[in-house]
Chain A
Amino acid sequence: SYDLTQPLSVSVALGQTARITCGGDNIGSKNVHWYQQKPGQAPVLVIYEDTNRPSGIPERFSGSNSGNTATLTISGAQAGDEADYYCQMGVFGGGTKLTVL
């Protein structure tokens, strides 16, 4: 099976840029999706096919994918962005807890 590797946690200062990575063998050749999940809530799709934002997702969420790493970038992180983030390509990565300091 294909494994997606995420850091367990990422911290970012309020208003700064957070980057959450998702590692996989030649992942740059595949389509990666990203989800945000807040406590007690269902996941929400924030990026699909590496770089696309669904309607209603703020522009500060962006994505990239190259080589063996896909990256979710949150520019100008807000307190409300504190959540778990999962990459997905069929299977899900293990998830990253984002803390906004």
Chain B
Amino acid sequence: GQNIDQPTEMTATEGAIVQINCTYQTSGFNGLFWYQQHAGEAPTFLSYNVLDGLEEKGRFSSFLSRSKGYSYLLLKELQMKDSASYLCAVMNSNYQLIWGAGTKLIIKP
């Protein structure tokens, strides 16, 4: 079967750094996406990785290792507005997005 695993919930302190991990097993691979979803809102696109390595975009970075079936989202200089759920999704060989259940990130002052 296909599955995406990510922690259910994480807590971090304002101004700190947090890393959200995602491991996956899918039928084929055409890229990995990270989305941010605030409570009651639709997801917004954060990043896309299809090659191994680190992609940096401002305070957010995303890393991919295809051989390990592993990715992480790194958030630096955490702000209270970063409190949200972070969804990991993998596009398989049929171009279907397989979604993780999301990681709820709680930021404390």
* Binding partners A and B: no
Q: Which residues of A contact B (CB under 8 A)?
A: none
